[in-house]
Structure 1
């Protein structure tokens, strides 16, 4: 099922409040049941990666 751009915009307007569509809102949301051990590993990887950029 493919959606047109107009349909996608209407769906976004209905599901996402305007306050959450700002550059300061979280970029990634977990939308699946992921075991906690994997989320911890993902956080550790991104945390280390962010520090490596600073140097």
Structure 2
């Protein structure tokens, strides 16, 4: 519990750096999900009308 409080306090002391880190993670996860979805639709699923 003490580590959580310390972590939150550290994030609050540098809000710009925290926001940049959180946005970077969010964009990275979103891009990864989008790329996987495209790969799944184009490569992994069978083409319609095939045997």
When normalised by structure 1's length, the TM-score is 0.37
The structure with the largest alpha-carbon Rg is: 2
When normalised by structure 2's length, the TM-score is 0.40
Answer 1 or 2: higher relative contact order, Cα 8 Å, separation at least 6: 2
